A = this chain, B = another copy of it.
Amino acid sequence: MSNATFDRYYLDDLVVGQRFRSASHTIDDAQIKAFAAQFDPQPFHLDEEAARETLFKGLAASGWHTAAITMRLNVEAGLPLMGGIIGAGGEISWPAPTRPGDTLHVESEVVEITPSRSKPERGIATIVSRTINQRGETVQILRAKLIVPRKAAT
């Protein structure tokens, strides 16, 4: 959470193709059910038995839970951007479900860098973050447009 200059990147420090890797987080069924009870109370996120009868064929985390864990991993040590991780928006998909016991980490890659035309102090970095489980399966792909400050302004 500190904004120390060392090892945090301004827009000017980023290059297309640059990669970052987060630490990992193991999700259990208590976490899955607690998130679902608060934000996504559907049978396939709340109850093993009921989940078996659904498209998921077993308990699965809410996609928004996977998104939230991905954010936590990127904020903590995954994506060291100056000013923090501030998303304007993006595209998200969940190619595979997150299951109880899965250990997730995030691999991010800078795919586009766009200095703002109107605001010389910042720009947009487009970063693709893949959330990957212990079997190497990608459970989420997030292509995010992040607002990153520029060096010239400080």
Residues of A within 8 A of B (CB): 1, 35, 38-44, 46, 54-55, 62-64, 67-69, 71-72, 75-76, 83-94, 141, 147
Contacts and interface: CB of A to CB of B under 8 A. Distances in A.
| Copies of this subunit | 2
A55 B93 contact: no
Contacts of A90: 91-93
Nearest to A89: B93
Q: Chain A contact residues: over half helix, strand or loop, or mixed?
A: mixed
B54 A83 contact: yes
A47 B43 CA distance: 35
Contact of A94 (B42, B62, B89): B89
Nearest to A50: B1
B40 A75 contact: yes
